[in-house]
Amino acid sequence: MGVRRTADGRSWLLVHPRCVRDRAEDLEEVRAMIDAGELETAVDELRWLLADCSEFIAAHALLGELAVVGHDVPLARGHFGAGYQLGLQTLRRGGMPAPLLYSQPANRPFFAAGRGMAGCLAKLDKWSMAQEVVDTLLRLDPSDPLKLRAMLDEIGSGGLPIVELGSDCVESSDESSDESPRSGGST
């Protein structure tokens, strides 16, 4: 795996190994299996793809998504983490070039793995680690196309809506001591 500048020179791309490019069709078949509800078969196919091509970030990310569907957050964290770490290691070897934009199709599996990883870490109450992943992804693509900040806010609030208070609202000192993970307080 490597990294190179885009043709216009304005951003960077992850360059996936040949085995990933050669298996793009197989990944589409897996997505069709998932759409048809054949989740166990899809998992088996993804494992087979990874056995032949361990740097297949999109396959790691899909296994993470399937683990989330199965309500196995620790397993999902492992799959998302494998994909995220593959991309991050490649970027570190390349000097952490930025911007690395989500809008580039070659970069999307890395961002999907990172988003999934951050979400799992937050659900496992590993807030500082989740924030570190989000911060890294936002340094690479500051436009936040995957709404990473909002995702952490939603997980931190337990799905309750986040209400922004205007300057005309006054809180008592008892109410202002909220120390939720979302507010940056200690946990």
pLDDT in tens, 23-43: 989 999 999 999 999 999 999
Token output for 69: 């569907």
Give Dmax (Cα) for the chain. 61
Token output for 148: 């990473």
Least confident of 4-18, 69-83, 159-173: 159-173
Does 121 have pLDDT greater than 80?
yes
Task: Reduce the secondary structure of 2-31 to three states and give it as a string.
Answer: EEEECCCCCCEEEECCHHHHHCHHHHHHHH
Amino acid 156: pLDDT? 82
Does 103 have pLDDT greater than 90?
yes
Amino acid 175: pLDDT? 44
Domain boundaries, the chain: 2-183
Amino acid 155: pLDDT? 86
How far apart CA 172 and CA 187 sit, in angstroms, is 22
Token output for 107: 């970069």
Q: Confidence band (pLDDT; 50, 70, 90) for 152?
A: confident
Q: What is the DSSP letter of 104?
A: S
Q: Does domain 2-183 have CATH number 3.40.50.10170?
A: no
- pTM for the full predicted model: 0.82
Among candidates 14, 23, 35, which has minimal Cα distance to 106? 14
Q: Confidence band (pLDDT; 50, 70, 90) for 163?
A: low
Residue located via tokens 């790691």: 60
Q: What is the DSSP letter of 177?
A: G
**Helix, strand, coil share of the chain (percent; to 5):** 60, 5, 35
Does 134 have pLDDT greater than 50?
yes
Does 55 have pLDDT greater than 60?
yes
For residues 168 and 146, the model is more confident at 146
